[in-house]
A and B are shown apart, each in its own frame.
Chain A
Amino acid sequence: KQEVTQIPAALSVPEGENLVLNCSFTDSAIYNLQWFRQDPGKGLTSLLLIQSSQREQTSGRLNASLDKSSGRSTLYIAASQPGDSATYLCAVTRGDSWGKFQFGAGTQVVVTP
């Protein structure tokens, strides 16, 4: 059974520092990995999708890497801003064709001014 773990569960950094969020998964037979952001009481906003054949994806200040063999992904957010405060979730699609996600519990990030 696939298990997805995100460490740390919470993180507080001063504005301007780079954020490093970790995601690990136990079964390397994934289709893809997706990072999401969730603001309190809101739905999920997609940040980056990394397909299983890719090593990394970039969008603006965000960069996500994927190492399938070691079962790890890392989300980097450069030059953090207070607006980056949210919970960040990673999710992997299972080794079938239906696009069903297995989610981690998330990392709650607070960026202090």
Chain B
Amino acid sequence: SQTIHQWPATLVQPVGSPLSLECTVEGTSNPNLYWYRQAAGRGLQLLFYSVGIGQISSEVPQNLSASRPQDRQFILSSKKLLLSDSGFYLCAWSKGANTEAFFGQGTRLTVV
């Protein structure tokens, strides 16, 4: 069966510090991968998606970037965090447009 792992679960970082969140998927190959953010009191917003190694598309301009160094690994990064980057970050995978999507347990990021 397929599983998706995200870490860390919780992170408190000072403004201006770097960020690296990691997501890995097991039990499948060549998944579509997604990063979403859920800000307090707001819905989920798609940040990045990837359909293959090294292929990243950004949905919104922001202080964050994403990379996919391996087939089942998706990384969310920032060089310098802003207060507005605080939120709940969720990684997800699917096999394509018409298939079920599965989400990780999320990372709660607080920028102080």
Contacts and interface: CB of A to CB of B under 8 A. Distances in A.
B51 interface: yes
Most chain B CB within a 10 A radius of its CB, from A36, A49, A52, A100: A100
Q: Place the interface of chain A in its size category.
A: 20 to 34
A83 interface: no
B96 A43 contact: no
Contact of B101 (A34, A41, A52): A34
Interface string B84-112: 00001010101011111111111010000
Interface size class of B (residues with CB under 8 A): 20 to 34
A11 B72 CA distance: 38
A96 B97 contact: yes
Nearest to B42: A105
Interface string A81-113: 000000001010100111111111110000000
Which 5 pairs from chain A and chain B are nearest by CB? A44-B103, A43-B105, A103-B44, A99-B97, A49-B100
